[in-house]
């Protein structure tokens, strides 16, 4: 074997091994889905192509480091298993079979995939029109609200509308930040796509930003309630208002899936109203200022008094 070929082999091994060891371990034990798919992650086709590009760069002495391609490496290295392993689903031991079907207790691929449907099969539980029912097995409140939405009605009738994975990326299932909604909602609600209302993206971003502000206000008010209680203040009514605001906040997440922004804003306003009432009852007052001590007239004051008395005397004398 030539030195050049040997170096190429070593470089390929190091790169692939690096990707392999970066893949975290699963939190769900004794699951054949996890055992199998985590070993497949480092060898996806796109990743192999990228590795070949790096090798060619190194062969012609073109500097190529992870610092240059960090974002590209992250995108290519992030496969289904890695995405899932960093999700809340992984923490809760919700494994592949919960959404995709199959039997994770079987030791062989053939047995594990009995009755398994491809994602493009309309009978698959993760076919896009079936996704709401699949997610709804655990997220029943979100499903109940989503089924009242225009999105769901169009998904059922036209087979063309947003579904759960439109906003919650498959395998990561993250909740989008407020600023993400301007782009996500804008994919449909825009003058270019001619889907009204056109102001939905901005309104969604604004409302979710206000939700984050509500969360902050509830936390700050609870701290004020704690210290007021420590100082002997009766905080019973304030705690009731704060609890109401927290309950209303928790109801906002499933309610969002109605995509009825007017109803959502009404609930948000009610929560803000309750937390303001609680704040008013326990908000720390400013440090009282000391009352100025009356001072006796100084030299200038005495001079003024004498001048006034002299003027009064002269007027009387005349």
Tell me whether residue 38 is in a domain.
yes
Do 164 and 204 share a domain, yes or no?
A: no
Do 153 and 204 share a domain, yes or no?
A: no
Do 121 and 76 share a domain, yes or no?
A: no
At 262-285, the pLDDT tens digits run 999 999 999 999 999 999 999 876
pTM for the model stands at 0.61
At 120-164, the pLDDT tens digits run 888 999 888 999 999 999 999 999 999 999 999 988 887 778 889
DSSP 61: T
Do 50 and 14 share a domain, yes or no?
A: yes
Residue 249 belongs to what domain range? 200-282
Q: Which helix (H) or strand (E) holds 241?
A: helix 236-256
- For 74, counting Cβ atoms within 10 Å of its Cβ (0-12 exposed, 13-18 middle, 19+ buried), the class is exposed
Chain centroid to CA 219? 17
Residues 71 and 65: their CA atoms lie apart, in Å, by 12
Residues 207 and 201: their CA atoms lie apart, in Å, by 10
Least confident of 12-16, 129-133, 271-275, 310-314: 12-16
State both tokens at 273.
Answer: 């109203």
At 53, is the pLDDT very low, low, confident or very high (cuts 50, 70, 90)? low
């Amino acid at each position: 074997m030539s030195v050049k070929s040997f170096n190429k082999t070593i470089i390929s091994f190091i790169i692939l091994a690096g990707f392999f060891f970066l893949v975290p371990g699963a939190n769900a034990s004794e699951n054949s889905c996890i055992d199998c798919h985590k070993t497949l992650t480092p060898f996806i086709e796109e990743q192999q192509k990228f590795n070949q590009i790096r090798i060619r760069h190194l062969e012609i002495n073109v500097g190529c480091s992870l610092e240059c391609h960090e974002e590209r490496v992250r995108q290519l290295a992030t496969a289904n298993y890695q995405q899932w392993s960093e999700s809340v689903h992984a923490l809760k031991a919700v494994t592949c079979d919960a959404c995709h079907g199959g039997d994770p207790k079987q030791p062989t691929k053939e047995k594990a995939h009995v009755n398994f449907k491809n994602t493009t099969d309309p009978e698959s539980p993760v076919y896009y029109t079936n996704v709401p029912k699949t997610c709804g097995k655990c997220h029943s409140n979100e499903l109940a609200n989503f089924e009242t939405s225009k999105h769901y009605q169009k998904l059922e009738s036209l087979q063309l509308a947003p579904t759960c994975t439109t906003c919650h990326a498959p395998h990561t299932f993250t909740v989008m930040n407020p600023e993400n909604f301007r782009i996500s909602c804008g994919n449909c609600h825009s003058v270019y796509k001619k889907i009204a209302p056109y102001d939905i993206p901005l309104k969604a971003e604004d409302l979710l930003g206000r939700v984050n502000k509500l969360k902050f206000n509830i936390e700050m008010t609870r701290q004020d309630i704690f210290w007021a209680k420590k100082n002997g203040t009766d905080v019973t009514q304030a705690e009731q208002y704060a609890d109401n605001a927290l309950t209303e906040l928790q109801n906002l997440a499933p309610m969002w899936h109605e995509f009825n922004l007017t109803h959502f804003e009404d609930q948000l306003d009610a929560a803000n109203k309750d937390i303001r009432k609680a704040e008013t009852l326990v908000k720390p007052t400013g440090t009282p200022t000391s009352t100025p001590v009356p001072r006796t007239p100084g030299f200038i004051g005495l001079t003024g008094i004498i001048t006034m008395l002299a003027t009064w005397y002269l007027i009387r004398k005349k």
